[in-house]
Structure 1
Amino acid sequence: MQGEFTPQQALARLLDGSGLTFVFTGEKVVMLRPRGSTVLDAVNVTATPRVSSAKYTAPQVDITRSVAVIPKDILQAQGATSLRDAIRNVPGITINAGEGGGGMPGDNFNIRGFSAANDLFVDGVRDLSGFARESFNLEQVEVLKGPNSGITGRGSTGGTINMVTKVPSLRADRSGAIVLGSADQRRATADVNQPLHVPGIPGAAVRVAAVSSNSGVAGNDVIEYNSWGVAPSLSVGLGTSTQVTLAYTRSEQDNIPSYGVETFNGVPTVDTRHFFGLRSLDFEKVNSNNLALKAAHVFNEHLTLRNQFSSAHSDVGRIVTPVNPTTGARSPKTHAVENDILTNQTNLTSSFETGAVGHDFVAGAEFTRENSLRGAYTIATRPFPTIANLNAPTADADYQSAITRTVTRTVRAQSAALYAFETMKIGSKLELNGGLRWDSYKPEYTDSASKATIASTGNAPVRTTNVSGNAAVNFKPTVGSSLYFSYGTSFNPATENLSNDAVSANSKLPPEKSRSLEVGAKWELFKQRLLTSFALFRTEKTNARTTDPANPGLGTILAGKQKVEGGEVSVTGRITDHWAVLAGYSRMSGKYVESPNPAQTDAPFTNVPAHSLNAWTSYAVTKRLEVGGGGRYVDRRLLRATATSTVYVPAYRTYDAMAKYQLSSTLGLQVNLMNLTDELYYDSGRMWVPAAGRAVSVTTSVKF
């Protein structure tokens, strides 16, 4: 073969007409089989990571929307330990809460200016858990931008975030790491994958990932994050036409978080790296379990059936104490939520030809049952100790009190969806793709005191049915390039995150509707090892919820129109075998186009930084030594605007560096330097909680 091809493309051309097909059973191991003997890929090797969902049949270069995939190799090189660390690699995303959260707790992001708090997924299944997620069991993190209800259901105005977990493979791979660092960081991880040779059971393998982590936050000597987790998984049928995987993840956290300083007076003048809470009162406890059973069967080279059943449970409780920057008064915030979600997804994928037109077709169904116990903690003794000097607070004020956890309401929701997508390939240059999804979503609230379903007020939540869709045209000048135009829609029910007040009239409002236009280009360069992307977009929410001017403070109506538009450019992959890069830039502007409140019309939209930039690169200087580094910049963004004040989250820039030395074939040493300039910055302005200061970590890794 001569030319530039991926391994798959080269093999497909070599074997064309031979009656043989192939499957990768390892990173550089290929198995040949007669074409009639169909198999499932055990390992999917491409120049750039593929999006994991079966709903996307194309590689990244042919997906007609902005996509970012952060693989585990990047997370390891950066010393990342959480989902938030991974998301910092994607421009156009802002974090909506400090550690431990504020308002909507836990991982709470804005994508292209719109909240994505309800748009987090694990292996394609919605995850409602309100806590900061660990990275020890992540294979990669996928961010798909733009309205996405046609793919994932309710929400996804700005996009979705999908966490892909580790699963077994047929290649033995055993590794572990010990991390020691600033702020008393002590972390140990293990990842063991082992093929099993069981008579009568082909393609069996088991994998176990685990973590134990204890750490503070650089710059604050009170905050603590303590966690452990284990994730065993078992697969059978790898490399055959029928494959089954059973995976389980268990994690716990016992933290002392911080809410810092309340925001109503704007950026505080006191040193926010102090701890303003109460060590004897504040806590965050997280208990999370996730069980998934995945099965796939290839009927022939044209037809594949996949099914996934997931059961997730999380229990999150916290008391966190912010301080009033004017009076020094402490005011604890409490939060207690227990979530259960059962989901079953079925996807049928087919590829076929009608004359000169090729078709990739996906159809499926999804059924979900969600149950949420929502409450708070009652603290018996008051008042709380006031801080006399905000520049010298003490966290050790003795505050012993009886604490009672109560459930105030139970929220249940049932949803069902049917969907179908198709990509039509007309010759080698033109592709048309589109799809529709029908969703039915019905929440129900029960008052925990009276045990009565809330309906008598006339404000009971209503069933929402909606059809969402997407369509695109993709022109391919070459195999490794695309020029596309796409359109997509989304819908946001009033009760989408199961947290609305059920006695409020808001609960019975129809859903908000959004739409997006995007034009973009993608190229694979350097023997298809590097993917470059460029996109211009406009996202509009056409009937946003807004305050009713005829009933201020009490009524909400669907009468607003919001718009965010801008452009993005990104580069990811390898320039050479030794030089890797992940970089992106986003330029955005957002505003309220229309509003029944005259003061809001043409006002800027919150959480939309005009500029955001991230870059990470690493270079293998020798076979043993690798160095890397990068930085991030996020422009200031509007937090809140009133008749009397306007508050912005300040702009910031940070820099990181890494050096890794392979002492032997089994032992490696890595040093990471984070926030080299000790920048004081805030991920969020809901509560002024500064991000970690300058820090260093040393990782000793072993393969065995």
Structure 2
Amino acid sequence: MMGKGMMNGIAGAAMVALGGSMPAMAEQGPTLAEIRAGDARPLDVTSESLHIAQESLHKAPQSLHIAPQSLQNALIQFSLQTGMQTSADAALLQGMTSPGATGTLAPAAAINQLLAGTGLHYRFTGPASLVIVRSEQGSLASSDSLTVVAGVENPTGPVDGYRATRTLTGTKTDTPLRDIPQSIQVVPRAVLDDQQASGLSEAVENVSGVQQSGTSGNRSETFRVRGFSSPGYAIDGVMLNYAGDRPETLLDLANVERVEVLKGPASALYGRGQPGGLINIVTRRPSYQSEGDGTLQAGSFGFRRAEGSISGPLNEDKTLTGRFSAAGQTEEGFQNHRRDSEREFGSVALRWEPNQLTSFTFGLDHTRQKMPFDRGLVVTPENEVLLQPRRFLAEKWSAIDARKTRLSLGAEHSVNDQLTLRGSLRYDDARVQDTGIDYRSLDDDGRTLGRRFTDRQEDSRNIDAQMEAQLQFYTGGIDHQLLGGIQYTRSRMDFTSYRANIDDIDIYQPVYGAVKPTPKINSDYVENITMASVFLQDQIAFNPQWKALAGLRYDHVDQKMNQKIGDGEPDMSDGAITGRLGLVYQPVEPIALYASYADSFAPQGGQSRAGKALAPEEGWQVESGVKVDLIPDRLSLTTAVFQITKTNVKASDPLDSDYSVTTGEQRVRGIEMDITGEIMPGWRVLASAAYLDAQITKDKDYDPGNRLSGVPRASGSLWSTYQLQGGLLSGLKFGTGIQAVDTRKGDLDNSFSVGGYYRLDAMVSYPINKHLTVSLHGRNLTDQQYIATPVSRTENHPGAPRSIVAAVKATF
């Protein structure tokens, strides 16, 4: 199937990093790999290096478990379990099978067993590198010189540098990014480490057309993708609680391997979703080799953080592997008179492979946070946000106490080389209580702010079950990869809200000390959402140049709300068919041209002030673009032009933020550009730019032509690092980056605007030795004052002033 499209190598041979279809290892091992010629460097194999290589092959025996299977997959397992790099000509492996190798074996004995009866041989290309050749080619002479091909990229595993080439997010199958007819951007862990990122908003700042859209009073983060707000995100391909309109806690990055953004509608594959795009968090998997890392950070505004992860085999034959990750963080914050922020996080991931055809996974994570409840700053009578970023307009007792537990189970079985079956079960449970202060409006004097105390409680539970079948087959020489499945989701949220007015506050000369009042109940309900879905997707390769993607899904949603206060009946039962169709043309290997259509369907939680359910949001997009390697297999460029139209748009009710309204039709037209990769050895770059024309096109409450709130016309980012490759300071890394954002309208009425800004960041790091690295990271070095996230006239979140964070990282 896709393995037929492996790239030609150099030195007159088609050298590939071993890959192919390996369904039983879809989550933890590579199913397909392509040559990384851009990382290849000629290696003169001397007698000394041959001796080292022979020693590595004959090193101490180790426990291996490589079942009989295709030779291609067997050699992948050899590389994974021994740590040795193995490369081959793709044509040599076509139709080859291997008897496998199981037991306590030295690598030399294992590779000989794997090649038994194939007529193939191996030769050295480096101290830990092998190339598979025909037997008549003989062994490698010491004067020969070959190109070493870099190793396998796993679509859920670490990325070599900044440039990812494969993903599961775009299709739920292991697919090259260049073969997917939509823009997909990947922010790998290497970027998160270099930028010392501690939150999801810092990660997605590197992606074109993505901005934070809100914080729900500082409890969590939501984002705008291509101009449209997404209330949540997916973790390992599964969306969060359907009954909630926002995440319950902030996402901790301690166990995050990649942050991937699929631009445009993804409902045909994932169901509920916004037309702007999907953010998918890929968590760190257990490793076959023992490894670990730990980081201590300290910085401005009382920031303290410790995180670590340890992973490896849990039994002798490496059929059971595990990873444990944990983090703890505290911060005083840059705003005055606010309580401190606290967050603790822990996760466990296990993988059991009783044989080569079957695998089981288990995941458990828990987050606990205590945060200050904060609505930010208010608009002054000049229709601007003029207050200092450090100004806090609530009380120190205004806080959020939240916890969330997530459990996942997965199973996968390869029936044969063509058919793979997968199943997953996800459960999460969360509780949030906030004793928050919301801002009402300014008095006629322009400085006295009315305030309201709300004691809210949300208890939510969500269960998601999925079954999938992946089938590879050919029809008339056309390659198909068919994915079909069913999904059942049930979400429940118990919500209560109590309210009372509290003392006003002077926004220019605040006096704190208002007493927490005794509130009266104003809302009490239980909301249940059930969704049943069936979906089908076909990835088609007509030939190496032309590829297509088609998908269809049906979702049926039942939403019931038991109102314990009031007479509303916000029940809803509805269904929708969503589709996806795209075409990719690759005239030459470094270039892919694509065009696509997709639509979206999103049931909406909440209700109107009349007690009615909100109609589901619907949307559609047309997109075309180009994906090209500016430097072959090193530096990639993705450009896209698109139009998205969305109807039944949900917005906060301007008369009462506890309720929502639908606002007609909105449209975004835009162009985006993203560059990722390595310009030369040691010089990495991540750049993005977007222009968005986002406006209301039809509405009964807002004027058509108004710009969508919080969406800049132009925005962009640049992050670049360089690491010295030799000399006395070898390993020294320094980098800098800039974020630039245009002016934004603060609400759909366009009653006020917040100014554009730029933010300059920088970093430097140095490896004390191969296990210990120290670094220093500066953010907003020019100390710009700006509004990072406008939400409404009474909620605008300022960006942080200049800050410095120092870190020490240990690996073993």
Instruction: Give yes or no for TM over 0.5.
Output: yes
Query: CA 1:481–1:304 in 2, change beyond 3 Å: closer, same or farther?
Result: farther
Aligned match for 2:665, one of 542, 548, 561: 561
Q: Hey, what does 2:194 align to over in structure 1? A: 77
Amino acid at match of 2:267: S
Distance 2:708 2:174 in 1: 35
Q: Percent identity?
A: 23
State the AA in 2 paired with 1:602.
Answer: G
The alpha-carbon distance between structure 1 residues 100 and 603, as it changes in their structure 2 partners (threshold 3 A), is closer
Q: 1:587 to 1:402 in 2, by over 3 A?
A: same
Displacement after TM superposition at 1:171 (Å): 2.0
TM-superposition CA deviations, 1:362-421 (whole Å, max 9, x none): 111111010111122446xx642x334x334244x1625557899710001111111011
CA distance in 1, matches of 2:710, 2:734: 34
User: Aligned match of 1:680 in 785, 789, 807?
Assistant: 785
- The structure that is helix-richer by fraction is 2
- For the pair 1:165 / 2:286, whether they are aligned, the reply is no
* Structure 1 position 566, deviation (Å): 0.9
1:74 partner letter:
V
Q: Aligned residue for 2:341?
A: 225
Q: Which position in structure 2 is the counterpart of 1:669? A: 774
> 1:582 — aligned with what?
686
The residue number in structure 1 matching 2:409 is 293
Q: What letter matches 1:675 in structure 2?
A: N
Letter in 2 for 1:268: V
Residue 352 of structure 1 is aligned with which of 465, 468, 473? 473
Distance apart, 1:657 and its partner CA = 0.5
Q: For 2:292 and 2:34, locate their aligned partners in 1 and report how far apart those are by CA, in whole Å.
A: 35
Look up the match of 2:185: 68
Q: Give the drift of 1:604.
A: 2.7
- Which residue is 2:490 aligned to? 369
Match of 1:518 among 623, 645, 653: 623
Per the alignment, residue 296 of structure 2 pairs with 178
Match of 2:736 among 629, 642, 645: 629
Query: Per-residue deviation at 1:582?
Result: 1.2
Matched, 1:499 2:606: yes
- In structure 2, the partner of 1:139 is 257
Superposition pairs for residues 199-210 of structure 1, below 5 Å?
A: 202-210=318-326
In the alignment, the residues of structure 2 paired with residue 557 and residue 187 of structure 1 have an alpha-carbon distance, to the nearest angstrom, of 40
Superposed CA RMSD: 3.2
Which range is displaced more, 619-628 or 233-242? 233-242
**Which of 628, 635, 645 is the equivalent residue of 1:540?**
645
- Aligned-partner Cα distance in 2 for 1:346–1:594: 40
In the TM superposition, residue 290 of structure 1 has moved relative to its aligned partner by 0.4
Cα–Cα, structure 1 residues 49 and 173, in superposed 2: closer, same or farther, change >3 Å? farther
The verdict on how the C-alpha distance between 1:18 and 1:100 changes in structure 2, with shifts beyond 3 A counting, is closer
Q: 1:573 to 1:447 in 2, by over 3 A?
A: same
Name the aligned partner's letter for residue 597 of structure 2: Y
Aligned residue for 2:706? 603
State the Cα distance separating 1:113 from its structure 2 match: 1.4
Structure 1 equivalent of residue 222 of structure 2: 108
Kindly provide the CA deviation profile for residues 38-89 of structure 1, in whole angstroms up to 9, marking residues without a partner as x. 99x9955776153234624421111111111111111111111111111221
User: CA–CA distance in 1 between the matches of 2:585 and 2:575?
Assistant: 34
Between the aligned partners of 2:588 and 2:540, the Cα distance in structure 1 is 17
Cα offset, 1:670, TM superposition: 0.8
Confirm or deny that 1:262 pairs with 2:374: no
Structure-to-structure mapping, 1:432-451, within 5 angstroms? 432-448=548-564
How far, CA to CA, are the matches of 1:6 and 1:317 in structure 2?
Answer: 54
Letter in 1 for 2:754: V
Name the structure 1 match of 2:90: none
- How many residues align? The count is 670
Contact 2:645 / 2:666 at 8 angstroms: preserved in 1?
yes
Q: Quick one: which amino acid aligns to residue 309 of structure 2?
A: D
**Is 1:464 equivalent to 2:581 in the alignment?**
no
Matched, 1:95 2:206: no
Closer, same or farther: CA 258–484 of 1 in aligned 2, 3 Å: same
C-alpha spacing 1:576/1:421, structure 2 compared with 1 (3 Å): same
TM-score normalised to structure 2 length: 0.76
Q: Given that residues 61 and 482 in structure 1 are in contact (C-alpha distance below 8 angstroms), is that contact kept between their aligned partners in structure 2?
A: yes
Equivalent position SS for 1:61:
helix
Partner of 2:583: 473
- Which whole-Å CA distance do the structure 2 matches of 1:560 and 1:434 have between them? 29
Whole-Å separation in 2 of the counterparts to 1:26 and 1:81:
32
**Equivalence for 1:2:** 10
Partner residue, 1:653: 758
Retained in 1: the 8 A contact 2:621–2:645?
yes
* Structure 1 residues 546 and 616, CA gap change in structure 2 (3 angstroms): closer
TM-score between both structures, scaled by the size of structure 1:
0.88
Maintained 8 Å contact 1:27/1:43 = no
Give the letter aligned to residue 378 of structure 2: E
Q: Is the 8 A contact 2:208 2:673 kept in 1?
A: no
Q: Where does the alignment leave 5 or more consecutive residues of structure 2 unmatched?
A: 1-8, 21-31, 36-68, 88-92, 102-151, 242-246
Alignment partner, residue 126 of structure 1: 239
Q: Which has the larger radius of gyration?
A: 2
Q: 1:255 & 1:231 partners in 2: Cα distance?
A: 21
Say whether 1:277 aligns with 2:277. no
Contact 2:33 2:153 in 1 (8 A): no
Letter of the aligned partner of 1:702 in structure 2? A
Offset of 1:577 from its aligned partner?
3.3
Give yes or no for contact 2:777–2:806 (8 Å, CA) kept in 1.
yes
Q: Quote the residue 1:148 is aligned against.
A: 266
Aligned counterparts of 1:667 and 1:485: Cα–Cα separation in 2? 46
Shift of 1:575: 2.3
Paired AA for residue 97 in structure 2: R
Bigger RCO of structures 1 and 2 (CA < 8 A, at least 6 apart)? 1
- How far off its partner does 1:131 sit? 3.0
Whole-Å separation in 1 of the counterparts to 2:571 and 2:548: 38
Measure, in 2, the Cα distance between the counterparts of 1:589 and 1:42.
Answer: 37
Instruction: Report the CA distance shift for 1:485/1:408 in structure 2 as closer, same or farther (over 3 A).
Output: same
Q: Which of 798, 801, 806 is equivalent to 1:690? A: 798
The answer as to whether partners of 1:546 and 1:595 remain within 8 angstroms in 2 is no
- Given that 1:436 and 1:467 are in contact with CA atoms closer than 8 Å, whether structure 2 keeps it comes out as yes
Give a deviation string over 1:547-573, Cα, whole Å, max 9, x none: 99xxxx9x9998933210010010112
Q: 1:538 and 1:611 mapped to 2: Cα distance?
A: 16
Displacement of 1:607 in angstroms is 2.9
Alpha-carbon distance, 1:240 to partner: 2.6
User: Retained in 2: the 8 A contact 1:97–1:683?
Assistant: no
C-alpha distance in 2 between matches for 1:225 and 1:571: 35
Aligned partner of residue 301 in structure 2, secondary structure: coil
State the alpha-carbon separation in 2 of the partners of residues 500 and 184 from structure 1. 40
Amino acid paired to 2:220: G
- The aligned residue for residue 175 of structure 2 is 58
CA distance in 2, matches of 1:460, 1:376: 18
Q: Of 518, 523, 545, which aligns to 1:429?
A: 545
Q: Distance in 2 between matches of 1:43 and 1:114?
A: 31
2:449 maps to 328
1:187 to 261, 280, 305: 305
1:158 deviation in Å? Answer: 0.8
Distance 1:215 1:621, change over 3 A: same
Shift of 1:698: 0.5
Q: Secondary structure, in 3 states, of the residue corresponding to 2:734?
A: strand
Query: 1:35: which partner in 2?
Result: 97
Shift of 1:267: 2.1
- What is the CA distance between 1:528 and its match in structure 2? 1.3
Q: Contact between 2:334 and 2:390, CA under 8 Å: does it hold in 1?
A: no
